[in-house]
Amino acid sequence: MTLSTIQSRLLAACAAANRESASVTLIAVSKVQPIERVRAVLSQGHQVFGENYVQEAVQKWPDLRAEFGPVQVHMIGPLQTNKAKPAVDLFDAIHTLDRPSLATKLATLAQSRGTSPDLFIQINIGSEPQKAGVLPDDADAFIVTARALDLPIRGLMCIPPEDQDSTPHFKSLSEIAARNGLSGLSMGMSSDFESAIAAGATHIRVGSAIFGERNYG
Ligand SMILES: *Cc1c(COP(=O)(O)O)cnc(C)c1O
């Protein structure tokens, strides 16, 4: 598939859900992809990308921004506290705020820099033991904590369990966001972004459907 195919599917999903297409940001997830594929998508004018690894992103994006202009890059992978500094220097948004120690660290950095990337709190929406994210039962309290630190919390992010229908999980995430007055919903990947749009996603994270399969070789 290609960027234009995904953009058409995004438009169709918005139309079907009676939503403005401008209310959904397509994050092209470029982690692990060969640089030629990333350059091809940049050349088509796309300006919002997602990365999972701080080191990979730091090696790639300063050069690409110098060449292609002020491209937005969003961090969507797990963030170690000791990588928070290079992360806030590089990323426009971080979707994986998932624990108090990281919130404290990001708040300290925001204070000293006078600015912070937009933040999304990752919710472990299926309460899976192996998965990162704040448990749904702890979400309201964690949002209060993060706001008390003056962090710019824009919304919530989730990765539903792989073997289940995503839609009920997207709906739960949307309910947690609504009752906490948060408008951002980062949800939906290559296999389920249309149902995420139907459930109110504001940010969809699509990788392989745009760039092709990832080769972790
Ligand atoms: C890799 C990744 C994606 C993109 O996955 P695809 O299935 O390739 O679209 C989206 N979100 C997160 C958190 C990821 O790690």
15-71 pLDDT, tens digit per residue, is: 999 999 999 999 999 999 999 999 999 999 999 999 999 999 999 999 999 999 999
Which residues fall within 8 angstroms of residue 56, CB to CB, at 6 or more apart? 31, 32
CATH number of the domain within which 10 lies: 3.20.20.10
pTM tops 0.85: yes
Q: Is 76 in the pocket of ligand 1 (CB under 6 A)?
A: yes
Task: Indicate if ligand 1 lies below 6 Å from the C-beta of 29.
Answer: yes
Tell how far the Cα of 112 is from the centroid of ligand 1, in angstroms. 32
- The total of structural domains in the chain comes to 1
Distance in angstroms (rounded) separating the CA atoms of residues 123 and 121: 6
Ligand 1 centre from 187 Cα, in Å? 10
Q: Is residue 9 part of a domain?
A: yes
- Alpha helix positions (H), 31-181: 35-43, 54-68, 84-90, 100-113, 139-148, 167-179
Residue 206 CB less than 6 A away from ligand 1: yes
Structural domain includes residue 49: yes
75, part of any domain: yes
Q: Is residue 107 part of a domain?
A: yes
Sign of CA dihedral 76, 77, 82, 87: negative
Residue 217 lies in a domain: no
Q: Structural domain of residue 160, as residue ranges?
A: 3-211
Kindly give the distance from the C-alpha atom of residue 212 to the centroid of ligand 1, in angstroms, as a whole number. 12
Q: What is the mean pLDDT of residues 86-108?
A: 98
Whether 186 and 151 have beta carbons less than 8 Å apart is answered as: no
